[in-house]
Structure 1
């Protein structure tokens, strides 16, 4: 990663007191705009002493509960009294968000697989580099809001990356319980280290994200979970002072336990599921049948679960290719 400053610029002064709106100017020189840029909207409310909370959505452009919750928060920011600083970016991968796609239409970049990014890279790499070099050093707590997008539906779940021990771990679980999502899942990304979560961990920041729905829609019930969770978490941090914050319900803790909790398609075809979102399943149980559309007379291939657990997310597209993830399971666990 280059030690030179990011090529992304902004007129927002992160250190200036008060409320500001503006854009991050992502350079993009192309056939019809030689000196152009992509403006990525953001807002900052700075009240001085206190924690800095970075709130982002639209890391993937077809996930909407987070961006909508943050756009609604932006409506409130000018009238809010806070302690510390809020940096709010409703759609971090803005080209993907405007396109309604998981990846950027400019360079096909999946932002959540490109950290630490590259100063002189493609536009999506430049966004990751800006977050890594400019935003993460300023933040104390990072909250990145996701959903399943077009290809997945996901139970409303906070994804936790708790520090291993000590006071930071205790504080982290206080925030998790304050958010009060129905489910909190300790992820196993099978060694993936190019994510926003991995970047935040490298910087020693408290990082929370979540999956709140899918189908590339905006579910009202899941949106309410996000909005109320953010309000409770900001209150727990001492950033806000509202007395009418609704009480958090108890969250159910779960853990993804390696490859056995993932279900992948071995072949191309059409998948018929034998389970539903939220089902409790057992190792060896039928997950579904895979049909070959080119040989419809051929018996389908049975696919079985390789572990016990709750179905946390499932693929929304029936058409699959080899290696497509069909479902993700998790087992109940304890916060400690």
Structure 2
């Protein structure tokens, strides 16, 4: 990663006390605009140095996931009248080109921001966003909360994705924040070695990182939006940023763990998939997950796909049309919070 400063610039002064709005200017020279840039909106509310932690709040890492961006846009409406300790940096749509386009990846370069960290100073636009986050935003933050949903291709049970730190003191605070957020589910992810994510970048910088998946179908579900809004408020209260608490969640979070490749269900072939399960189902190893039909030979018997573990379905594909390697479902099994 280049040691030169990011090519992104901003008219926001992160150190200035008070409330500011502005943009990150992402350079983009193209046929219609030789000296153009993409303005990425952000806001900062800063109570002053030494008053409390800095929390970075982001949504729109993928552009077809809406509960997070809507929750953060609603928070932006309240920021000017809020009294806080510490500093809030709020970016409702981090991959703004993808968000405006309503797609998982950027229409500029097809970049999936959450698979491009640490990014590249002189790279494609999405790589440049990742580089700015890695070099400018993460060093400023103490806690990072990145809000996701399943997007167009997935429906995800409302779930906080946990990346607990190893040392005992920070781990205890981390699980305090997890319980304060109060999502119905908290899942310890296994991304099968994937280390290009925002979570991996935060871990490299030693930051506490919370992520969450709250819905899907590229919609904005009212119940999931309420979980996000109340969860954010409770976390800010637990950190001492806001003075007022929020009503406790209706129940304790359920802790689950993704256990390697056996908790992923993939399509082995192209075709049309008929699911034999629903989101939230408890399934058994060997149980039929669904049937895969070949549209080119519809007279052939469908291929049966089976689960490889006893677990709960936390995420399922919304698109019936599949290609080899498409993820059909993600499972997780109950675990303890330690």
Partner of 1:192: 194
Partner of 2:205: 203
Separation (CA, whole Å) in 1 of partners of 2:209 and 2:135 = 16
1:42 counterpart = 2:42: yes
Shift of 1:155: 0.2
What CA deviation, in whole Å up to 9, does each residue of 1:90-117 have, x standing for no partner?
0000000000000000000000000000
User: Paired residue for 1:258, among 250, 257, 260?
Assistant: 260
CA RMSD of superposed structures (Å): 0.5
Separation (CA, whole Å) in 2 of partners of 1:32 and 1:201 = 39
Q: Secondary structure at the match of 1:225?
A: helix
Q: What pairs up with 1:105-120 in 2 under 5 angstroms?
A: 105-120=107-122
Q: What pairs up with 1:99-110 in 2 under 5 angstroms?
A: 99-110=101-112
Partner of 1:311: 313
Number of residue pairs matched? Answer: 335
Partner of 1:247: 248
Q: Secondary structure at the match of 2:176?
A: helix
1:147 counterpart = 2:149: yes
What CA deviation, in whole Å up to 9, does each residue of 1:14-52 have, x standing for no partner?
000000000000000000100000000000000022100
1:237 counterpart = 2:239: yes
Shift of 1:235: 0.3
1:94 counterpart = 2:120: no
Separation (CA, whole Å) in 2 of partners of 1:67 and 1:264 = 29
Separation (CA, whole Å) in 2 of partners of 1:281 and 1:235 = 38
Shift of 1:179: 0.1
Partner of 1:298: 300
Shift of 1:147: 0.1
Shift of 1:165: 3.0
Runs of at least 4 residues off by over 6 Å: none
User: Paired residue for 2:65, among 63, 66, 77?
Assistant: 63
Partner of 2:287: 285
Q: Secondary structure at the match of 2:262?
A: helix
Q: Secondary structure at the match of 1:98?
A: helix
Shift of 1:61: 0.1
* Residues 260-269 or 160-169, more deviating: 160-169
Partner of 1:17: 17
Shift of 1:149: 0.0
Partner of 2:171: 169
Separation (CA, whole Å) in 2 of partners of 1:296 and 1:182 = 41
Separation (CA, whole Å) in 2 of partners of 1:5 and 1:307 = 47
Separation (CA, whole Å) in 1 of partners of 2:317 and 2:14 = 40
Partner of 1:329: 331
Q: Secondary structure at the match of 2:31?
A: coil
Separation (CA, whole Å) in 2 of partners of 1:46 and 1:18 = 5
Q: Secondary structure at the match of 1:212?
A: strand
The gaps in structure 2 that reach 5 residues or longer are none
Q: Secondary structure at the match of 1:275?
A: coil
User: Paired residue for 2:131, among 110, 129, 132?
Assistant: 129
What CA deviation, in whole Å up to 9, does each residue of 1:148-189 have, x standing for no partner?
000000000000000123100000000000000000000000
